[in-house]
Amino acid sequence: MRNSSNGGAMGGRAAGPGGGGGGAPVDKEVDFAQYFCTYSFLYHQKDMLSDRVRMDAYFNAVFENKHHFAGKTVLDVGTGSGILAIWSAQAGAKKVYAVEATSMADHARALVKANNLEHIVEVIQGSVEDISLPEKVDVIISEWMGYFLLRESMFDSVIWARDRWLKPTGVMYPSHARMWFAPIKSGMADRKKSDFDGAMADWHNFSDEIKSYYGVDMGVLTKPFAVEQEKYYIQTAMWNDLNPQQVIGTPTIVKEMDCLTATVSEIEEVRSNVTSVISGQNTRLCGFGGWFDVQFKGRKEDPAQQEIELTTAPSEQHCTHWGQQVFIMSNPINVAEGDNLNLGLVMSRSKENHRLMEIELNCEIKEASGNPKEAFKKTYFIE
């Protein structure tokens, strides 16, 4: 599940360590402190294991497609607590290699032993780029998805494992993935704009006091402070459980992936030009929501007997720990039913931390008649 196989940080691939493909190598200790250490705590594992949508999807994918596991060899990339490895063994796998980069591997071993599966499941502590297996595998299973699918860059490690250890006839669990984007209405836009205005008002009071009491003019720092606060309050994506009624236009797919053939280069930078049509009457465009879904379809030559989908789309009843990423606008725009949004999205990895994302969004709004209405460009950060 979404734990610490490596996430593409610890060397070995031709693109260079860090999954950056041309970026500076990522120091292992820095990457562990920033990313891996989080997954070494049981409370974090509990949060993910409590996600019923997530758990049910993987459980059903495995046990309703036992033909992919029975008598087969399985690699679990980022095993965490070991539950996917355990399910694989219970579904009939003859051997399961469960790779985990953190000390959570000790808990996984204990859980495997407590479930009497140590003769099938072998827990290996280390990054998947650094470990060695005695054989190729029939199945790679992993819960690698981060916020808006690609945050954390863990899919790099799954690609590495696939290219190194998956048999030519092997299958990927999940097999496919999609990223979705849609216009939304939300009171968060007004609240965050109010928070930003409050922060700036506080700064001006602070600056006046410094000058009055201590004779130092702080005015030269007002602009950089505003930039800093705007990034924090307005430009940084927020986790949220959106209600489907908050989606005011047609959701659109900005990226589709076949996990059997996807490459690191195609996820280092995602570019998409799509259109969404406003479906709500006389409403406000307050921002955008981003989410993902993954499918368990097997492969063309060896399809799933029962296809399963895990979706993180807005839902009234089936929320996930991923929620949705919300990208707000400080100045919402009035839109009408039938308005067309032409969206240009570029998502790339942060230069400071390859596991975080930056998004450049261009939006052109046209009325249903085709007349131009408004256009804007925004920069967002998924941190």
Structure tokens at 214: 């201590």
Of 64, 122, 129, 152, catalytic: 152
Rounded CA-CA distance 171/75 in Å is 11
Residue with tokens 């007997």, as numbered in its chain: 305
CA angle 218, 219, 224 (to 5 degrees): 95
Q: Is 129 one of the catalytic residues?
A: no
* Mutual angle of helices 188-214 and 222-230, in 10-degree steps: 160
Phi, psi torsion values for 348, nearest 5 degrees: -135, 170
235 alpha-carbon distance from chain centroid: 17
Rounded CA-CA distance 87/120 in Å is 11
Instruction: Answer whether the bond into residue 17 is a cis peptide, omega within 30°.
Output: no
Of 143, 307, 316, 364, catalytic: 143
Q: Is 301 one of the catalytic residues?
A: no
Rounded CA-CA distance 60/238 in Å is 30
User: Which runs of E-coded beta strand occur in the chain?
Assistant: 73-77, 95-100, 121-125, 137-141, 166-173, 176-184, 238-240, 252-258, 269-277, 283-299, 302-311, 324-335, 340-349, 357-366, 372-382
Catalogue the active-site residues: 143, 152
